[in-house]
Amino acid sequence: MEQSTWAAIAAVAAVVSALAAGITGFVGIRALSSIRRDSRVRTRPVIVAELRRPTYADHAQSLVLVNHGGSPAADVSVLLDPWPNEHDRAMSAILKRYEQPIPVWPPGMTLSNVYTSRAHTAAKDFTVKVSYKGPDGKTYGSTFPLSTDLLDLETFAVAEDSSERRWWRPPVR
């Protein structure tokens, strides 16, 4: 083969190599960006609101908020809609707890308040709106439509010979 043919082959090989290196670099940058984004999502704070039945309290429900995420939340604001009656003693605790933003809410921290019981009632259907900042400075927020019917309409069975004989009772309203 002539020297000019070898030079052309070498030039084409160099172009193909440069193109392959460019594509590899692009794919690598995309992969690193995806890993960084995935890491941020997995470790960000995630505050969830729910109703729970307190242990040994058949006619009560607690409003529970938990940070299930992997990092602390900052400037946490909690709003209930409708806002509870401030003259009810149990509701006044909820109002006082959430009237100001919570500066830091660490991962795993749980805040719980009695929401309904035999002594007091609250709105059957309500919404909890939570907004907060993550360590990256990004603002996150969620809305949780809740209903006391979810737990009030719970049924269960207990064996007749059980020492814990419990029967379903309609909710007290």
Q: Please give the pLDDT value at position 99.
A: 92
Average pLDDT over residues 118-123: 77
Res 14 pLDDT > 60: yes
For 135-155, the DSSP string reads: TTS-EEEEEEEEETHHHHT--
CB 154 within 8 A of CB 61: no
Mind listing the pLDDT tens digit for each residue in 74-83? 999 999 998 7
Res 56 pLDDT > 80: no
Mind listing the pLDDT tens digit for each residue in 136-154? 899 999 999 999 988 888 7
Q: Please give the pLDDT value at position 87.
A: 66
Cα distance between residue 70 and residue 98, in whole Å: 22
* Both tokens assigned to 98: 């959430």
More confident residue, 143 or 25: 143
Mind listing the pLDDT tens digit for each residue in 158-167? 666 666 555 5
Length of the chain: 173
3-state secondary structure of 41: helix
State pTM to two decimals. 0.69
DSSP state of 69: S
